[in-house]
Amino acid sequence: MWGRERRGPQDQVVAARMNAFFGHLTRQQRADPQEVARCYAIDLAQHRGRLLAGKHDSRSPYYVGLSTGPADFIRVTKRVTLVTDTMLLTEHRGSAHQLGLRSAFPGVPGNAPAMARAARERYAVVSEDLAALGCWLLDAEPLLRTGLAWFCPQYVTGRALPNFRTEQLPAGTVEVADYLIEHGRAVDLSTAKPLASRVVRPVLEIDLPFLDGLSLADFARVTREEFDSYRLFRDFMQARLLELDGALEAEDSQVQLERLALAIREEVEAARTSLTTASRTRALTRAGAVVSSTGALLAAVRPDALAGALATTTTAVSGLAGLWPVVQAYADRARGHQGKWHYVWVLHRKAP
């Protein structure tokens, strides 16, 4: 299924690594979320540096890193994905979950002393809830495979691993995260890019009802399947959020956010109503039975040419004079699938 994806990934380096990881997961491993998280941490221990280098070198102001706990992973992912090119998640506190042994001197040259080449040390991944992390990885798999998101593990090493517990940022977290999520709010860690600050912070606070009740797995699947429409909606969200005043701590910041939320809700509702009405028309219901897939494709590409063809063929003479309106309606629906609101409509339909 994954190999037949026709659209290019958002971040090619991330997408390639994530596809390689998920492609090697066995059915037995997928059945155990903790094992999925362990396997991911082991895999990223070898490739983490390359992925972080890609983030560091990225010219996109919408490639952001967020440090939070597994309890917020779902909410943060569904919202922040709506405004970022690529989202990096990491954890800033938790217990050490041992992964095994690794080289104490990674990258040691082949001509180094044998003792240095053979040296090993225990290492562990830091997480509040390894099972929750594994569930997030499985549910968000379509996003990771497309390069829209990934998780950057934090590691600790040494003999004290069994008793390790931290309420502080492990070494390296500040370098990979632009923001630290605390109590649902994004706290600037001083390395944030200005544009990211103005879109990430508000989207975490705005009421977006079409996300309510929607599972992360459904959200990730729809986002991947409706990628073109998703990108149009993402552009729309970015543009709207950038209209806000940069001083989000101003007294009227909540008023501005509510105005924006209201405007988005009105446009979402209008689009949802329009698309729902169109999908229920009798013409669209009959289209699948009356119009062949070839005819529908021609209608979407060259409706004017197909109209002329229908007028001069025996189709109209044979009693199917009403065929053209059906074909035209089918073409209109096909064009609607390319709009930014089609993505929101599908998300809305998936929610209970």
Q: CA-to-CA distance for 78 and 216, rounded, in angstroms? A: 7
What is the enclosing helix (H) or strand (E) of 156? strand 155-157
As a whole number of Å, the CA-based R_g of the chain is 25
Average per-residue pLDDT in the chain? 76
Q: What angle do CA 146, 152, 155 make, to 5 degrees?
A: 155
pLDDT in tens, 1-53: 443 344 555 789 999 999 999 999 999 999 999 999 999 999 999 999 999 99
pLDDT band at 272 (very low <50, low <70, confident <90, very high): low
| Residue 121: per-residue pLDDT | 79
Model confidence at 139, pLDDT cuts 50, 70, 90, reads very high
Q: Is pLDDT of 346 > 80?
A: yes
pLDDT on residue 32? 97
CB atoms within 10 A of CB 275: 21
Give the model's pLDDT for residue 14. 95
Longest dimension (CA), the chain: 89
Q: How far apart are CA 136 and CA 290, in angstroms?
A: 43
Start-to-end CA span in the chain (Å):
26
Looking at per-residue pLDDT, the higher value among 36 and 61 belongs to 36
Mean pLDDT of 278-291: 50
Arithmetic mean of pLDDT, 109-120: 50
- pTM exceeds 0.85: no
- Tens digit of each residue's pLDDT (9 = 90 or more) over 204-214: 878 787 888 89
| Alpha helices (H) along the chain | 12-24, 27-30, 33-57, 70-80, 114-118, 130-139, 141-145, 173-176, 194-203, 216-225, 227-242, 253-279, 282-290, 293-301, 303-312, 314-317, 323-336, 340-350
* pLDDT of 251 higher than 70: no
Residue 159 has pLDDT above 90, yes or no: no
Average pLDDT over residues 225-239: 90
Average pLDDT of 161-182?
Answer: 74
pLDDT at 291: 46
- What pLDDT does 294 receive? 46
Asked if 138 contacts 22 with a C-beta cutoff of 8 angstroms, the reply is: no
Mean pLDDT of 157-182: 73
Q: Taking a C-beta distance cutoff of 8 angstroms, is the pair 134, 145 a contact? A: no
